[in-house]
Amino acid sequence: MDYHFEFRPYRRLFKQPLRTRYGFWNVREGLILRLTDAEGRIGWGEVAPIADFGTESFAQALSFCQFLATEISEGTIAQIPATFPACQFGFGAALENLSVVPSGNAQTALNSLWTVHEQSYLLPTGRDALRGWQDPWQQGFRTFKWKIGVVDSAEELRHFETLMQCLPEKACLRLDANGGLNWDTASRWLATCDRLTSSYAAKVEFLEQPLPIEQFDQLLNLHQQFRTPIALDESVSTLTQIQSCYQKGWRGIFVIKAALAGSPEKLRSFCQTHAIEVVWSSALETSVAQHFIRHRLIPAVPASDRAVGFGVDHWFLDTTLNQLDFEQLWQSL
């Protein structure tokens, strides 16, 4: 079957640059896809690459979509190479969304994304986190994510202890190093996590990707040496990487950014077959990809009581792309 294919790029400014160990991120760019079948049904998809995480670049994704004809087949989608995982996800999601039969409660389902209790909230980096948790706590957030490895480690560790002193009971903190630590610094962080979790009311849920992806054996060793769990993120950005880490013996937490991982069908199958422990995480995508992940991926895999990492919309100036009326979102581009 052939489908009419259209796409529109988007460009979202951050309220303030998002600082990670890769540097400052000022603009989020991606593509909204629309497939229409012979009966007029529409399937929405999103391509939201992050080259630092091993996907194609935005420029490559844009060029790929520009190269395609306005009429494409399922075979065309099936042939998208693994080197374009964000495109695999976007087109795969659009194709799956075509098969959704509208119902009387479709709008109700569309409006039921995550509550604040189900999400982790991305804090500002550095000392700004010391006051950045208070408003979201009042809103109901209980899980927070804090990027580390962006300034001097001794300074960050001091801020970390202060933050743990401030956070109330039942607060969970996720530390995300984006692979920016070395063995000694990672060990220092994990030892401090173990100590502070025992000393204060809040707890450290896990340390995310402390070492670069090429240091898998060291990551495995760290995972075995400390009480604080380690979660893999950049190491498992794509389905190929997820499969590789599993085959090499990783049985800890997999932080999966589905929008970067590749074919949603293959990702779903792997998670069902291997029953891995997944923390679903945002790739700073729009509501198009978030809705698909929430309603088509997460319910199909073993349930987890861990918060999903989608508390990120507050980072953007423009909230137009957060809306769940996709036709209206499309017209805004």
- Out of 145, 203, 257, 266, which one is annotated catalytic? 257
β-pair partners for 145: 122, 174
For the record, the structure tokens of 56 come out as: 């194609």
Mark whether 147 is an active-site residue: yes
Which whole-number Å values give the CA distances from 209 to 104, 180, 183, 229, 292, in the listed order?
43, 8, 12, 11, 26
- Out of 147, 170, 203, 248, which one is annotated catalytic? 147
Give one word for 275, left, alpha or beta, with left for phi > 0 and alpha for psi -120 to 50.
left
For the record, the structure tokens of 203 come out as: 């707890």
The alpha helices in the chain, defined as continuous H runs, are: 58-67, 74-78, 85-98, 106-110, 129-132, 134-139, 153-166, 183-199, 216-225, 239-247, 258-261, 264-274, 287-292, 326-331
Mark whether 257 is an active-site residue: yes
Which whole-number Å values give the CA distances from 164 to 151, 197, 212, in the listed order?
18, 8, 26
β-pair partners for 255: 279
Give one word for 284, left, alpha or beta, with left for phi > 0 and alpha for psi -120 to 50.
left
Measured on CA atoms in the order 324, 110, 279, 314, is the torsion positive or negative? positive
Instruction: Determine the Cα–Cα distance for residues 18 and 296; give it in Å rounded to an integer.
Output: 29
* Catalytic residue list: 147, 257
